[in-house]
Structure 1
Amino acid sequence: MGRGAKTLLSPSAVIDRLRSVLTGSGDHSIAQRMAGAAFIIRVMSAAIAYVSQVLMARWMGGSEFGIYVSVWVWVLLLGHFSNLGLASAAQRFIPEYAGRGDEDGLRGFLKGARLIGMASGTVIAALGLTGLWLAGPSIGTGLGVPLALAAICLPLYVLTDIQDGIARSQNWTDLALGPPYLIRPVILLAGMAAGHMLGLAANATTAMAAAVIATWAAGMIQFWLLGRRLKGRVAAGPRRYEGRFWLATSVPIFLVEAFYLALTYTDIILLKQFRPAEEVAIYWAAVKTLALVAFIYFSVAAAAAHRFSEYHTAGDRQKLSEFLSASIRWTFYPSLAATIVVLALGKPFLMLFGPDFVAGYPAMFVVSIGLLARAAVGPVERLLSMSGQQRLCALIYATAFATAVILCVLLIPPFGMMGAASATAIALTLESVLLFWVTRTRLGLTVSPFARRSPAAAE
């Protein structure tokens, strides 16, 4: 090993590197702290959610828990869709307005984006409730009331999503992720525990009622805290609303996220159509056990999007390239390590849900292939969305989503949850290959976790 390598791996070099990450004022150090904070919050959230889901599965039984899972997936899908891409667009517009010193536009976006999101969520909720009323008895047994409660969650779910994007653009990871990923699940768990002790029916309706309370409470707490912090960053003054411009930019980003989320939950939704609720619950537990791997990708993406926007807007190609390479390394290597650990401990984790849930263990290996493929290209879809390539990015996700749907329809009937897992892994791998190709050909940037690290990237 060369002399330079020894120096790089010396204890003093490791200590200096750690000090740089923890106290440095450079963009890479700040982004790493944001990613680290996001990961810690998501791991804490996962622990709370895991305890909640284990208890709920045992209290409710496989069938009712499967109904709750299916309904909550619809909240996640419609909630993210209803923000019209403004949650991610916040990480593009806010740095742009701030960089130009356009405080009127900044103040307008901070208020206008949330108003548009709330209005969109309310309209979607109203349409959903109307559809349920018209469908009447044709809705499956035990689904009507949980779905109605899911609709009530939407307005505040959307508000929380957009406030998440606003807080990330200010490097406030705690405020972005704390309310939806810590406060909401804690209130949900407390609500279910209270219902259990009071002797309420342990079913999907009770669970969704607790989810409504948790979603609204978390959203309002975040709204109040965000308002207090923004007062210290953005001076009071007139607002300029550019709704058409915001939506013209955010809608293609919305399509990216819509297909991304649809791809994420297609396997659960279609598995519910072809297989019993008990199998859905087992597969859900297996996928959620792998959440630690997905959290790493999420955490880096949470820290990266507004940096991509800043560098692209400034025309600083060198910093953009260095930051992309760094974000891919931060995603891939921790994801690989987490996958090994989670798969090694998969059976004991699944046993917590009950003996029957161990049947989902083989599916974990298959899904992990797709997650590692995604980790190998890092948050490049955020780069594409922040650099004007959002339409092409949406096309990639539409292709991956269509692939997942077709494969799920073909593979779930004969193979059940293993068919769902295989369809997901293939679609994620295809998505990653296409993102790699577009980033190389359109932007001319290196997309690899093995790219050589620039000394400047450590600053």
Structure 2
Amino acid sequence: MANAERLAKPIAGKSAAITKVLARGGSISFLLNSTGMGLALIMQIVLARLLGAAAYGTYAFVTTVITFLVFPAKLGFDTSIVRLVAAMKAKDEWALIKGLLKRANQLGFAVSLSVTVIGFAILGLRYNEMTGSQLVTYSVGFATIPLLTLATLRQSALQALKDVLFAQMPEKIVRPLLTIGLLLIAVLLLGREADSGLAMICFAVAVAVSYMIGAFVLKKRIGDQIAGVETQYATRYWLKLSLSLMVNGGMYLILGQLSVLLLGMMNSETESGLFSAAVRLATLVSFAITAINMTAAPLLSESYARRDHNQLQQVCTTSGRAGFSFAAVVFIGFAVAGRPLLGLFGAEFTAAYPALLLLSAGQLFGAYCGQTGTMATMTGYHRVLTRVLVIATVLNVALSVALIPLLGMTGAAAASCCAAVTWNAVMAIAIKRKYGIITPVWSFGSRAKKGVPPQSGDSTE
């Protein structure tokens, strides 16, 4: 009995430490994400009022195009860096960390530069069709693609090092504040005419400043560890893994926006616009788990690298329960006050209330299933995740085609909800069978298997 008590004390202490790390990191991330969302909204309001509808439309469209162009330019390294750097750090493999960050930046810069050149080439073909303001907006916007790509990779590196504050602060806080401040100075103090080109120039300056802040912090965090270390590379493996993870990122993007697109194609753009408001609100259900994952993801990778089954389960359980608790509160809030909230967008948006509830239910079930996607990504089970996401996407399309003509946006929401329930449930079962880890936040009648998780996730799927 005494031996059992002595063994239990370190385990209890370790669990408390994990909970403390998740609570601290999750709280910081939640605060930063909340503040960032507020600042992003304020920035959009300021831009819309200063620029007017037409100029703001140009600015918003170009920033959307840039976002989609940055996605392939990252080559998936933004996700693989979180997984690999956390695992390498646990093993003190600083030579490989140095090589990974260097190679990721080299490849990311090369691809993003190519994307930028192609963008300018297309811009040249349409030169005579654009106004001067549009040309400036597109030109400056395309020029930011390499910096945005490198900034995302730097953000991932700091996340892997568990520096949640500086992983997010430059982009979520500094960038919108600086964009708003520079635009107000240019218009109110310098008397410049507000147009989309001026707004994009302010945004580009903010991107450059926020990138330099993040790069400086990253150098301070790891400069001493990698300064005298000979660089090691595993480029082929890193690239293969990153591209595979990029596919999953693309599938998440498609699953999130597919119903909006199909609704617009099959019914009307107006109904698609109403539905998109419900989609935006429904994502708030999973807001907390997304914020917590900034801390949980590197912890899962680190625990897996150390073959620490107990810590894996602890991270999944603690982070999952915190995320689900928040999700449940938001879901209840939408059930009670969903119509008034949708009414803030306009009176006609209240018609999307049934869709909001269905979309939120899918998000709530995903929060209940816990760290399914993150666990698979951080432990080398990503190929199985890819196959499951593809199945969910096909299901979403099939149900959307069948239900949208009958039920409109409610049918689209039902299709999205079914797809979310499917892939989360399947992955929860798959992870339990492979690793013995229970990701659902409360599981009745089963216990996690104790043991050492296999280290061959990439080859034994």
Bin of the TM-score, shorter chain as denominator length: 0.7 to 0.9
Among 383, 394, 400, the residue aligned to 2:386: 394
Residue 316 (structure 1) aligns with: 308
Among 85, 100, 109, the residue aligned to 1:109: 100
CA distance in 1, matches of 2:47, 2:156: 30
- Structure 1: state its 5+ residue gaps: 1-19, 455-459
Q: CA deviation at 1:175?
A: 0.8
Question: Is 1:152 aligned with 2:143?
Answer: yes
Aligned 8 A contact 1:300 1:379 in 2: no
Q: CA deviation at 1:246?
A: 1.2
Question: Is 1:256 aligned with 2:248?
Answer: yes
Question: Is 1:212 aligned with 2:204?
Answer: yes
Bigger drift between 276-285 and 317-326 goes to 276-285
Aligned 8 A contact 1:411 1:420 in 2: yes
Among 234, 238, 241, the residue aligned to 1:246: 238
Q: CA deviation at 1:288?
A: 3.4
Q: CA deviation at 1:372?
A: 1.0
Bigger drift between 308-317 and 71-80 goes to 71-80
Q: CA deviation at 1:212?
A: 3.4
Aligned 8 A contact 1:90 1:162 in 2: yes
Residue 377 (structure 1) aligns with: 369
Question: Is 1:333 aligned with 2:325?
Answer: yes
CA distance in 2, matches of 1:32, 1:429: 27
Question: Is 1:120 aligned with 2:94?
Answer: no
CA distance in 1, matches of 2:281, 2:326: 16
Residue 440 (structure 2) aligns with: 448
Residue 426 (structure 1) aligns with: 418
Amino acid corresponding to residue 299 of structure 1 in structure 2: A
Amino acid corresponding to residue 358 of structure 2 in structure 1: V
CA distance in 2, matches of 1:417, 1:194: 43
Q: CA deviation at 1:228?
A: 2.2
1:88-107 to structure 2, matched below 5 A, reads 88-107=79-98
Aligned 8 A contact 2:286 2:364 in 1: no
Residue 257 (structure 2) aligns with: 265
Judged with a 3 Å threshold, the aligned counterparts in structure 2 of structure 1 residues 93 and 32 are, in CA distance, closer, same or farther, namely same
For residues 25-64 of structure 1, give each alpha carbon's deviation from its aligned partner in whole angstroms, at most 9, with x where no partner exists: 8233112211111111101111112223344456667777
CA distance in 2, matches of 1:423, 1:279: 16
CA distance in 1, matches of 2:235, 2:216: 24
- Structure 2: state its 5+ residue gaps: 1-12, 449-461
Q: CA deviation at 1:256?
A: 1.4
Q: CA deviation at 1:322?
A: 2.7
Judged with a 3 Å threshold, the aligned counterparts in structure 2 of structure 1 residues 96 and 289 are, in CA distance, closer, same or farther, namely closer
1:123-142 to structure 2, matched below 5 A, reads 123-134=114-125
Among 72, 76, 79, the residue aligned to 1:81: 72
Q: CA deviation at 1:299?
A: 1.4
Query: How many residues are treated as equivalent by the alignment?
Result: 432
For residues 246-302 of structure 1, give each alpha carbon's deviation from its aligned partner in whole angstroms, at most 9, with x where no partner exists: 112222222211211232233455566667776666554444344432321211221
Judged with a 3 Å threshold, the aligned counterparts in structure 2 of structure 1 residues 399 and 170 are, in CA distance, closer, same or farther, namely same
1:148-297 to structure 2, matched below 5 A, reads 150-191=141-182, 193=184, 197=188, 200=193, 208-269=200-261, 283-297=275-289
For residues 159-178 of structure 1, give each alpha carbon's deviation from its aligned partner in whole angstroms, at most 9, with x where no partner exists: 12211111111110011111
CA distance in 2, matches of 1:226, 1:256: 27
Residue 26 (structure 2) aligns with: 35
TM-score (norm 1): 0.79
Aligned 8 A contact 2:371 2:439 in 1: no
TM-score (norm 2): 0.79
For residues 209-240 of structure 1, give each alpha carbon's deviation from its aligned partner in whole angstroms, at most 9, with x where no partner exists: 54434333322321122222322554433222
Aligned 8 A contact 1:89 1:253 in 2: yes
Q: CA deviation at 1:351?
A: 5.3
Q: CA deviation at 1:148?
A: 5.4
Task: Tell me how large the CA RMSD over aligned residues is.
Answer: 3.8
CA distance in 1, matches of 2:341, 2:267: 23
Larger Cα-atom Rg: 2
Aligned 8 A contact 1:114 1:159 in 2: yes
Aligned 8 A contact 2:160 2:298 in 1: yes
Judged with a 3 Å threshold, the aligned counterparts in structure 2 of structure 1 residues 239 and 153 are, in CA distance, closer, same or farther, namely same
CA distance in 1, matches of 2:288, 2:98: 32
Amino acid corresponding to residue 374 of structure 2 in structure 1: R
CA distance in 2, matches of 1:420, 1:206: 39
Amino acid corresponding to residue 49 of structure 1 in structure 2: A
Q: What fraction of aligned residue pairs are identical, expressed as a percent?
A: 24
User: What secondary structure, in the 3-state scheme, does the structure 2 residue paired with 1:251 have?
Assistant: helix
Residue 51 (structure 1) aligns with: 42
Aligned 8 A contact 2:372 2:424 in 1: no
CA distance in 2, matches of 1:196, 1:353: 28
